[in-house]
Structure 1
């Protein structure tokens, strides 16, 4: 009991600012000098003016936050298992609105229409991610849609090693028709060096009431005609007699910057109707599927050729069509075809009455 009271008393003294030292210890922590010893060999206390007053005891600050525990926002490409390594934040940057069909994003941020460096930097950043190419296969008999399947081809544009990427930013040529700030495609005007910054400056300096600057993401050197032929042959093999439509839509393909509404959206629409709109469509982000078109010598595909892709996906596509699916064909379908042989032996399908 006495020991406990002694401990409590010692804590109370420390809280009041007193610091405990063993008997004979120097206040400065240094060993006593020779002239500090008295005649009896004991240490003489220093004068009061030379005594060091230590600060009072204080407990640790409770609001300290370990820097390692703070959330760090990653920069650059992000890694998600099973997905291409890309900076996916570039698909939905701040102050942009995604269209209902997911084909384009649009911004009316003031600084993008007034600052050349901000606009050119944004375009370069948004060009670092590809569009989303797809395959859409629809079979219908009259008003009845028997199947409607989609496949995502985005992964065919992004190799695992970023050093093997072939994407680039392309600026309109002097002899190329395009929207150069007018309401119709034209060969004029030209800029001095034809660079992105020069076109951005021309857009910023344009006094038009309504003006837009658009970058388009495009896919190059993919043989969609060959893929369409393989798909139509497969559909014919399952005895389908309806109308088959094969298309290759590309989403997330356009980025548009428009100057802010001076009054409101209605006023902007009316102004564009009567005075027209200054359009700038002079830059494209090109994402090649291969180094050259199919059939050309020394052609190299970034990920795999159309033929290799088809060999991997023909059974999942056949199974999805035969089961009259409405939706995506994914890696799960490919896995089931590999593990469970689904999609094989489905040459004859009961499609029911014609109408």
Structure 2
């Protein structure tokens, strides 16, 4: 029981790192104070877990055997380089807590082998097309608070909770026919085709095609990339998620969070890690622009001169996109009747399944990844008031603990009598902010 009195961050640091396990529900109540906190998971394999499927009444899912989903996933043979991050600018007000990374939207590969047409094609076809990106739900609660620093008062943004839930396990398998589609750019699409600017195919003018070539497939684009003699080249593969109703998820989650009497600001966003994969040529200029060397140019303002040079020298290709469908509309009979089906489960079924977990994480002011936590948890909004002020830790002395419990119970009864918890809530902006 002593673990319940530990600070969550210290408790998380004390936990050993273990390999990922299959997702399962814990029938017992869970104290969020003993769960893992901080998260850095840019390429972590533990988010490949698949949650228990809902009943047929909750959703109609994609057709696919369990053997297909249990099959081993292909392994990335190339080093993953994270794209440089940019700082968020909050204007004139300061941010007390750093904006935690949830994974990079763009990752980079830079290897001599990928300059060969065949190697590049096989890498895209056998790996990037098979492994989905990592869509996530990010739930943040924050408030403005005044703090005194030296001789001045500053207003800071204080994060009350910062929760990330990975949704990758709700995407279809690449073996589910019709649920994962690959698309190469049409001649009419204005995209990067080996230049520093977006263009349409040669010979294509407005809606009239004059001497237009056939639409190149992926193999042809890989060949053109390999044959280009430019020293600085980038070939991008986009992986996107379609069919997820993010507006519905927002509409359902916000009142769920408000039910904990939270009065602060709520931000619900949907970042996607590994959405773009860029293939760079292993040139020393590309290596420099991705390393600490770039900071020298930022601090000395040399980027004013180097950025235009790099922009015009770099040849880009952005002609291939793979889409994973969270849901799809199917025509089910000759009369044209349609039915919406889900790869794994619907948005509403997922929210109903995770409602208690989300509320408990909010009340515990959780900062981190809650994907692998059991969803069957006890939530006590009115009883302990832990979301607003936290519990008083036990001392181990029976008499002292009894006295503390008596006082705490009296305060809770007084607050309940006055309706203070329901009226004031917790997490509101400090007066004057």
- Structure 1 length as normaliser, TM-score? 0.66
Distance 2:315 2:140 in 1: 38
What is the CA-CA distance between 1:253 and the residue it aligns to? 1.9
Question: Is 1:332 the equivalent of 2:373?
Answer: yes
Judged with a 3 Å threshold, the aligned counterparts in structure 2 of structure 1 residues 257 and 331 are, in CA distance, closer, same or farther, namely: closer
Mean Cα displacement is larger for which, 196-205 or 99-108? Answer: 99-108
Aligned pairs for 1:15-34 (under 5 A) are none
Q: Which structure exhibits the higher relative contact order, with contacts defined as CA atoms closer than 8 Å and separated by 6 or more residues?
A: 2
What is the CA-CA distance between 1:309 and the residue it aligns to? 0.9
Task: Indicate conservation of the 8 Å contact 2:240/2:275, yes or no.
Answer: yes
Task: Indicate conservation of the 8 Å contact 1:316/1:343, yes or no.
Answer: no
The match for 1:130 is 132
The match for 1:169 is 182
Task: Indicate conservation of the 8 Å contact 1:158/1:165, yes or no.
Answer: no
The match for 1:147 is 161
Question: Is 1:156 the equivalent of 2:140?
Answer: no
Distance 2:370 2:383 in 1: 17
The match for 1:120 is 121
The match for 1:184 is 197
Residue 111 of structure 1, aligned match among 96, 113, 116:
113
What is the CA-CA distance between 1:344 and the residue it aligns to? 7.0
Task: Indicate conservation of the 8 Å contact 2:192/2:199, yes or no.
Answer: yes
Question: Is 1:288 the equivalent of 2:362?
Answer: no
Task: Indicate conservation of the 8 Å contact 1:181/1:278, yes or no.
Answer: yes
Q: Which runs of 4+ in 1 moved over 4 A?
A: 86-89, 161-165, 266-272, 343-349
Q: Which runs of 5+ in 1 are unaligned?
A: 1-78
Distance 2:380 2:135 in 1: 24
The match for 2:262 is 240
Distance 1:301 1:267 in 2: 42
Judged with a 3 Å threshold, the aligned counterparts in structure 2 of structure 1 residues 174 and 146 are, in CA distance, closer, same or farther, namely: same
Count, aligned residues = 268
Residue 226 of structure 1, aligned match among 230, 248, 252:
248
What is the CA-CA distance between 1:346 and the residue it aligns to? 7.9
Task: Indicate conservation of the 8 Å contact 2:179/2:325, yes or no.
Answer: yes
Residue 93 of structure 1, aligned match among 70, 77, 99:
77
Judged with a 3 Å threshold, the aligned counterparts in structure 2 of structure 1 residues 80 and 123 are, in CA distance, closer, same or farther, namely: farther
Distance 2:362 2:74 in 1: 34
Task: Indicate conservation of the 8 Å contact 2:260/2:381, yes or no.
Answer: no
Question: Is 1:203 the equivalent of 2:225?
Answer: yes
Rg larger in 1 or in 2?
1
Distance 1:164 1:109 in 2: 32
Judged with a 3 Å threshold, the aligned counterparts in structure 2 of structure 1 residues 274 and 97 are, in CA distance, closer, same or farther, namely: closer
What's the secondary structure of 1:332's corresponding residue?
coil
What's the secondary structure of 1:311's corresponding residue?
helix
Task: Indicate conservation of the 8 Å contact 1:171/1:283, yes or no.
Answer: yes
Task: Indicate conservation of the 8 Å contact 2:280/2:286, yes or no.
Answer: no
Distance 2:83 2:311 in 1: 25
Q: Deviations over 1:110-161 (max 9, x none)?
A: 2322x211111111122101011100011110221111111111110036x9
